Amino acid sequence: MAGMMHDGYWYRYLAARRDISLYIALVLFGFVIISTLTGKTLVKSQEIVSRNEDPKTFWWCVGSCCVAGTVLLGLYAFTAF
């Protein structure tokens, strides 16, 4: 019963590609750090939003990237160990 989760198809699929989730997480965390330091971020409508002009959209974008990076880092840790 203890090792049943590691026998599934999706676990083997993700374990074979676990480095991709680490790379994407690092890129997202880099994006979060750069956006926080500069005060400008790129939103999904392909425009640059400033922290001073629209703080709600800015922090929503930065926070969602941080959450996505944390989830991908957790996925990497789950498949690596």
Token pair of 38, please?
Answer: 């500069």
- Residue-range domain boundaries for the chain: 4-80
Tell me the pLDDT tens digit for each residue of 35-61: 999 999 988 877 899 999 999 999 999
Token pair of 20, please?
Answer: 């991709």
Cα dihedral value 59, 60, 61, 66, nearest 10: 80
- Can you give the pLDDT at residue 3? 54
Task: Look at 15 and 32; give whichever has higher pLDDT.
Answer: 32
For residues 9 and 35, what is the distance between their CA atoms, to the nearest angstrom? Answer: 37
- Can you give the pLDDT at residue 1? 42
Task: Give the mean pLDDT of 61-69.
Answer: 95
| Statement: the pTM of the whole predicted model exceeds 0.85 | no
